[in-house]
Amino acid sequence: MRKKIAILGATGSIGKSTLDLIERSPEWFEVVAVTAATNSEALAEIARRTGARLAVVADETRLGDLQARLAGTDCRAAWGEAALVEAAGGQAELVIAAIVGCAGLKPVMAAIEAGRTVALANKEALVTAGELMTDAAARRGATLLPVDSEHNAIFQCLAGSHEDEIARIILTASGGPFRTASANTIDAATPAQAVAHPNWSMGAKISVDSATLMNKGLELIEAHYLFGMPSQRIDILIHPQSVIHSMVEFVDGSVLAQLGSPDMRIPLAYALAWPERMETPAQRLDLADIARLDFERPDLDRFPALRLAREALEAGGAAPIVLNAANEVAVASFLSGEIRFTDISRVVEQALTDALFEAPKSISDVLEIDRATRSRVEALMKDACH
């Protein structure tokens, strides 16, 4: 029996890596649903190639184009949130959650509520609704498999261990393209420089997050929810080569690490084949060739986003939602040339300072706090421009 898969965000960087693996092992997997935001051309091509039965665009204006491109196939074209939720909670046994940003929240929750196994790349969903999601997963018997390379590494290191044996988690971070840059250089960074990650090829938003180190901040919050670990027991370690993807220290002083070349197909393959393993075309690690591995502590002065994320995690309640929403708006403004690179953290800090939100009790609460923060941050940035 082939494993039935839904790929949410099939046209993105994670979506494409997933498809690459699936198409190398067609005897293992059957793609049943694929989704995108607006890219109906790429989505239709993916649906035709994989034989998916459902293809969904988030944007209504792209539906006509999707339908036309899928004419003559067995694939139904649909649009909007309800259809995204249907793709996530429908026939698939394994849902690859690779939508970027808070837009993935409802579909991920739908997959969890349907008791599916969810391979979670969409970290923003867990950052904004971590407790609601882990509670729902426990209630519905859904399994969350981390796809982020760091969390996947931790998941692998934790296999077979008990909670009381774990001393701390050590999340590694490449340090991004500005790791050695001066504060002045960072202040003048352009979008092209910010998305040029030294080790990983990723979508634009996560690349900017890696440059500010907000990505590591989001991952800190993600690790807290995935592994039930308090902030004080999650450390961040800069490791420029991105060979060690993260580590776990146990109470006896042993440290386990997962290593591999920086290729998202490795953690994705782990999630796709779990609880087994499958082959990947990823480059094999040659440690003699790499010769050295470096480590340093993060610089919270040049990269305040990491400090802000830890503060948001420790403040709890709605703070991670505010952090994430403000960051999404600020990153989009930076990418479109409206604000400077260093303004991203300033905007997030301001949003957190002004925030007065109670902890969310439902996904609707999360989305309302997200919406309110976005409009407050947009107003804030408009005021700053005048």
Shortest spacing between CB 167 and ligand NAP, in angstroms: 26
Of 235-264, which residues contact ligand NAP (CB under 6 A)? 264
Contacts of 67 (CB under 8 A, 6+ apart): 77
Pick from 154, 112, 152: which is nearest to 133 by CA?
Answer: 112
Report the residue number whose CB is nearest to ligand NAP: 12
Smallest gap, in angstroms, from Cβ of residue 203 to ligand NAP?
A: 3
Quick one: which of 135, 137, 131 has its CA closest to 225? 131
Closest CA to 365 of 53, 9, 101, 102: 102
- Of these, 4, 5, 6, 13, which contacts ligand NAP (CB under 6 A)? 13
Q: Which two tokens stand for residue 162?
A: 């008990």
Say whether residue 148 binds ligand NAP (CB under 6 A): yes
Residue 142 C-beta: closest distance to ligand NAP, Å: 19
CA distances in angstroms from 63 to 46, 58, 99, 235, listed in the order given: 15, 9, 18, 45
Q: Which of 4, 5, 6, 15 binds ligand NAP (CB under 6 A)?
A: 15
Nearer to ligand NAP, 10 or 266 (CB): 10
Residue 328 binds to ligand NAP (criterion: CB under 6 A): no
Please check whether residue 132 is in contact with residue 109, taking contact to mean a CB–CB distance below 8 angstroms. Answer: yes
Footprint (CB under 6 A) of ligand NAP, residues 184-223:
200, 202-203, 205-206
Tell the smallest beta-carbon distance from residue 199 to ligand NAP (Å): 10
Nearest to 106 by CA among 376, 372, 374, 368: 368
Q: Which is nearer to ligand NAP, 208 or 347 (CB)?
A: 208
130 near ligand NAP, rule: CB under 6 A: no
Q: How far apart are CA 75 and CA 55, in angstroms?
A: 7
Q: How big is the chain by its Cα radius of gyration, in Å?
A: 20
> Residue numbers of the site for ligand NAP (CB under 6 A)?
9-15, 36-39, 58, 98-100, 103, 121-124, 148, 200, 202-203, 205-206, 264
